Amino acid sequence: MEEDLNRKSWGSFEKGAAKNYLKGFGQGSINSCIMVSEIIKELNKYDENFQILDLGCGNGQFIEELIRNGVKCNFTGVDFSDALINAAGNAINEDKVKFINDDIHTLKKLKEEKTKFDLGIYSHVLELISSPGQSIYNAKKICDKIMIRFYEPPKFKFDSVEIKEMRISSVSDETMPYLRRKMSKTYYRDILSSIGCKKVEVYKDHKAKDEIHLLYF
């Protein structure tokens, strides 16, 4: 049921809303995006052939931020919303950027293509999907490392899911429900244990609650 809700909600954006609305939805602090960019530069040693997978890329706003911050890599954005993927493709016209419609829980298309990436990134996405563990499990199969940019860091005593409303039109007040997860420490640790995570580097933005976790396997 949660997965059906996600598909219906994120696939319902009117064209104008898909292009513009998410520019202000779920945005992290400026500092945390700069931190992500600098971490990537350290990881890729300025290798422009470095392969990054943006998991749940939406309308491409995060890739745009990385490019503005001087990250030069091959970017692939993946999302199951046609409306958002189309908006991303229209917004970013770069040779080293492409967008694919695929379910980030299963990553079926990318696995069938045997595509491999140096780094997979969830930017304010893990809190919004129905099965975080399933998604990370499959991402690990095609990504050497995984980075998670948390809007709600996994510090809660209990795992909970709220249903909230978001506006999906630029010309009306139409809204759709979406999931917002607050992840418990135990739930997160269980996910990391199940995928064989050996080390987690944590970077904190002390001016906001954003956290960046870099997972090693």
Q: Is residue 161 part of a domain?
A: no
Bridge pairing between strands 199-204 and 175-182: unpaired
**pLDDT confidence of residue 55:** 98
**pLDDT confidence of residue 11:** 60
pLDDT band at 10 (very low <50, low <70, confident <90, very high): low
Q: Answer whether residue 170 shows pLDDT above 80.
A: no
Q: Which two tokens stand for residue 35?
A: 């931190």
Q: Is residue 141 part of a domain?
A: no
* Half-sphere CA count of 141, side-chain side, radius 13 A: 17
Q: Give tens-digit pLDDT for 27-65.
A: 557 788 899 999 999 999 878 899 999 999 989 989 999
- Average pLDDT over every residue of 73-88: 92
Lowest mean pLDDT among 80-84, 164-168, 196-200: 164-168
Q: Is residue 73 part of a domain?
A: yes
Round to whole Å and give the CA distance between 147 and 31: 16
Q: Is residue 139 part of a domain?
A: no
How many structural domains is the chain composed of? 1
Instruction: Give the residue among 195, 10, 24, 159 at the shortest CA–CA distance from 86.
Output: 10
- Domain range for 172 is 2-131+166-216
Q: Is residue 155 part of a domain?
A: no
pLDDT band at 4 (very low <50, low <70, confident <90, very high): low
Instruction: Give the residue among 183, 181, 127, 193 at the shortest CA–CA distance from 154.
Output: 183
User: Kind and range of the H or E element at 76?
Assistant: strand 74-79
Q: Answer whether residue 26 shows pLDDT above 50.
A: no
**pLDDT confidence of residue 205:** 84
Q: Is residue 160 part of a domain?
A: no
Residues of the chain with pLDDT > 90: what percent?
59
Most confident of 5-9, 57-61, 73-77: 73-77
Place of tokens 């770069």: 94
CATH code for position 91? 3.40.50
Q: Give tens-digit pLDDT for 181-190.
A: 999 999 999 9
**pLDDT confidence of residue 201:** 97
Q: Is residue 16 part of a domain?
A: yes
Q: Is residue 38 part of a domain?
A: yes
Instruction: With both helix axes pointing from N to C terminus, report the angle between 30-44 and 61-68 in degrees, rounded to the nearest 10.
Output: 70
